[in-house]
Homo-oligomer: A and B are copies of this chain.
């Protein structure tokens, strides 16, 4: 199955938990409890999300995490890229020159195009929409357009 890693899935859960308390700084323990995930796992996730600049961290007593910017300004693509690196469906969609068949390969352009379209789908879904928890219009529109063109 074409899918994101389980940690990426967890990361979206964690991010929505944090987004649900916009005013507070939540400790790893609080987040783990709310997301119903193991504490060390959540700790690892938050570390990566922090490096990507999606959450702010505060050390010391009463420390914890908070969104680095409003939930409307964080997309699913941001979260996926924080966890898995650049979005690209094949090796050669991301790193050029890896594949010695590049010159005569007819499919790399197609894959690059598809990767771009999928990136667009992920950018269209914001954390705020995920928090609202209902199927969102933008992604549905993209589906319909793609299907209409198929």
| Contact assessment for B130 and A107 in the assembled complex, using a CB-CB cutoff below 8 Å | yes
Contacts of A41 in B (CB 8 A): none
Question: Residue on B with the closest CB to A101?
Answer: B36
| Contact assessment for B121 and A4 in the assembled complex, using a CB-CB cutoff below 8 Å | no
A47 contacts B by Cβ under 8 Å:
no
Contact with B along A128-150 (1 / 0, CB 8 A): 01110111111111111111011
Interface residues on A, range: 35 or more
**A130 to B108 Cα, complex, angstroms:** 9
A85 contacts B by Cβ under 8 Å:
yes
| Contact assessment for B142 and A13 in the assembled complex, using a CB-CB cutoff below 8 Å | no
A117 contacts B by Cβ under 8 Å:
yes
